[in-house]
Amino acid sequence: MKATRTLLYFFFLMMTTPALWAQDDEAPVRVEFGANAEVFQVVPCGEAGLLMFYESVKQIDDQGKAWIFIFYDTGLNPVWSKEITVYNDFGYAKSYVSDGRIYLTWLKITKPRRDEYNLQLVSIDLKGGTHNSQGIFVPEKSELINFEVHDNILMAGFNYPKEEALLLIRDLRAGTDNAVLFTENPSFIENLIYNPYSNQVLLAITIYNSRKNSTLYLNSYSLQGQRLESVQLTPTQPSVKLMNAQIHLAQTHEWFILGSFNHLNGELPRSEEDNSGEPSEGFYIAKIENQNQQFLRLHKLLDFKNITTILNNEELRDVKNLVEKEKKRGKPQSLNYQFLMHDLKHHNGNFVMLAEVYYPEYHQVTTMSYDFYGRPMPYYYNVFDGYRYFNAFVAGFDRQGSLLWSNGIKIWDMRSMQLLRRVETSSAGKELVIFYNDNGRIVSKIIDGYHDIGEVEKTRLATKNRGDVQLEASNGMTTHWYDNFYLAWGYQTLRNSEVAGGSKRSVFYINKLIFN
């Protein structure tokens, strides 16, 4: 019997003027803002609500500009709005929600002066919007990998030029820092989380022993910055290079690590690799218990028995060629992609892995110059066009790291200048839904392990007014909110012929979703 699942949408309509927040019971439920040049940010805050914010054009003083923050409860009713000053030439980086507060970070975009902060941390109380801000010095051109805040202790991991890394632990009350610098060898922080069982920081870090060889470590640090323990993740084959590291705390001394891998350890980096990451040929899952590696299992994409049904048509040809080569030559082949990994989730007592597949796109520009004798000298360079998403893989693992099933969903014509997670999963019973926001449409697929339940469905997000017709859409996003509720947001250009003059409007929208 064909299983069905209904996707319900809850929308809340709001004008940006606080005086217009009040509304009657029959008002449509959709958040919609006029979108000009603003870049809107949305951060789900669990059952407390959600925060939406953007940079305004208002200049506060020589040092900063006004950013507008609006907080909503789970019914998408506005609770408060605030204007907060953010330093000039700072770009929003990441957020973290903890203990009834949201912590937001901005990094300096332009080169800072010697006495200037280059990181700003804003802390906001979710109930009333009271807030405070502080500037922090970090290495110039730092990339913030991840951060958490617990009991007013900031724990943040940074990578920065010259292949160096920094673990920063700051007491936000006292303003004192404990810093751990990784400068002896090329080092890259993969991930960072707080371990509440031991009151320590867990850091996954890749350290290069040479240009060719790297090792992934899982280190524990006290809140004073002292390294307490270190576990080296060791594959059975020395050629295996481990990349990415999503850390999942199962119990006090039991951790699971998820990431991707290739067989390029011991080889020089390829010239085509860029900052978006190295190509991977599959996934690894490891278990650490009492500071010992219990197992580390590798799962190649070509070993997924349904790999040819998961991929879209453009990639399918390559897979079939590799399979044929493997049969003829008797030599293992590999399928290499770049993955954007998600955190491990639980489903039916096992683990679910989700990874989005992408590649960077460029176009070539040719310029012509002439030498002293007038002879043409062409010069070529590549211009980055964004990241092209084309698939998402989902797989189930048991607690011993064995692959139980694999599946996925095709992603059509999605490109973004930022590498952000755009696909989500929702589980109920045996089934799992994979879905994403395809510019105003929710594309979804229901699966039960290897099996698809029904067809891929495309459901248009409802808009503010009856008769709205979507002309354009961009930057569609989805993310989990709380329980079985999810958020979808993005930008739309809409036209409504039922409104006098057939008016056209450009909006930023937020929709609340639930799967039943």
Report DSSP letters for 181-234, one per residue: EE-SS-EEEEEEEEETTTTEEEEEEEEESSSS-EEEEEEEE-TTS-EEEEEEE-
Question: How many other CB atoms sit within 10 Å of the CB of residue 343?
Answer: 14
Q: Which of 146, 188, 144, 148 is nearest to 165 (CA)?
A: 188
Question: How many other CB atoms sit within 10 Å of the CB of residue 136?
Answer: 17
262 Cβ contact partners less than 8 Å away, ≥ 6 residues apart: 240, 241, 243, 278, 279, 280, 281, 334, 336
DSSP category for residue 86: E
Task: Say yes or no to pLDDT of 125 above 90.
Answer: yes
Are 326 and 344 in contact by the 8 Å Cβ rule? The answer is no
Fold of 58-72+79-460: Neuraminidase (2.120.10)
**17's tokens:** 């003027």
317-321, 416-420, 509-513: the lowest-pLDDT one: 317-321
Residues 324-374: tens digit of each pLDDT: 665 566 666 667 889 999 999 999 999 999 999 998 999 888 888 887 887
105-119, 303-317, 458-472: the lowest-pLDDT one: 303-317
Residues 183-212: tens digit of each pLDDT: 878 999 999 999 999 999 999 999 998 878
Distance CA 494, CA 32 (A): 12
5-9, 112-116, 163-167, 307-311: the lowest-pLDDT one: 5-9
- Identity (one letter) of the amino acid at 442? I
Task: Say yes or no to pLDDT of 435 above 60.
Answer: yes
Task: Say yes or no to pLDDT of 181 above 90.
Answer: yes
Q: What is the pLDDT of residue 7?
A: 52
- Residues 386-390, mean pLDDT to the nearest whole number: 92
Q: What is the pLDDT of residue 252?
A: 76
How does 392-422 read in b/e, with b if 16+ C-beta sit within 10 Å?
bbbbbbeeebebebbbbbbbeebebeebebb
Are 486 and 9 in contact by the 8 Å Cβ rule? The answer is no
Distance CA 407, CA 111 (A): 45
Distance CA 119, CA 166 (A): 14
Q: What is the pLDDT of residue 15?
A: 35
**461's tokens:** 């997000």
Type and span of the H or E element at 323: helix 313-329
Q: What is the pLDDT of residue 321?
A: 65
Residues in the chain: 516
pTM beyond 0.95: the answer is: no
DSSP category for residue 270: P
Are 170 and 179 in contact by the 8 Å Cβ rule? The answer is no
How does 230-245 read in b/e, with b if 16+ C-beta sit within 10 Å?
ebebebeeeebbbbbb
269 confidence band (pLDDT: 50, 70, 90): low
Distance CA 504, CA 76 (A): 25
Q: Dihedral of the CA atoms 166, 167, 172, 175 (nearest 10)?
A: -50
93-97, 406-410, 424-428: the lowest-pLDDT one: 424-428
220 Cβ contact partners less than 8 Å away, ≥ 6 residues apart: 195, 198, 200, 201, 202, 203, 227, 228, 229, 230
CA angle 91, 422, 52 (to 5 degrees): 45
DSSP category for residue 19: G
Task: Say yes or no to pLDDT of 266 above 80.
Answer: no
CB-based burial of residue 24 (10 Å sphere; 0-12 exposed, 13-18 middle, 19+ buried)?
Answer: exposed
The rounded mean pLDDT for the chain is: 87
Q: Which of 97, 107, 192 is nearest to 480 (CA)?
A: 97
DSSP 3-state of 47:
helix
316 confidence band (pLDDT: 50, 70, 90): low
Alpha-carbon torsion 18, 19, 21, 27, what sign? negative
Residues 4-46: tens digit of each pLDDT: 444 554 443 333 332 223 233 444 368 898 988 789 999 999 9
Distance CA 92, CA 40 (A): 11
Question: How many other CB atoms sit within 10 Å of the CB of residue 289?
Answer: 14
Q: Which of 337, 354, 342, 432 is nearest to 390 (CA)?
A: 337
- Identity (one letter) of the amino acid at 296? L
Distance CA 429, CA 237 (A): 38
Going by their DSSP bridges, the two strands 504-515 and 31-34 should be labelled as antiparallel
- Identity (one letter) of the amino acid at 354? L
- Residues 46-64, mean pLDDT to the nearest whole number: 94
Domain ranges in the chain are 58-72+79-460
**477's tokens:** 């996003």
Alpha-carbon Rg for the chain, nearest whole angstrom, is 24
Q: In whole angstroms, what separates CA 389 from the centre of its chain?
A: 13
- Residues 478-483, mean pLDDT to the nearest whole number: 95
Whole-angstrom CA distances from 338 to 266, 281, 319, 341, 374 are 20, 9, 15, 10, 44
Task: Say yes or no to pLDDT of 153 above 50.
Answer: yes
- Residues 138-143, mean pLDDT to the nearest whole number: 92
Type and span of the H or E element at 303: none
Q: What is the pLDDT of residue 310?
A: 80
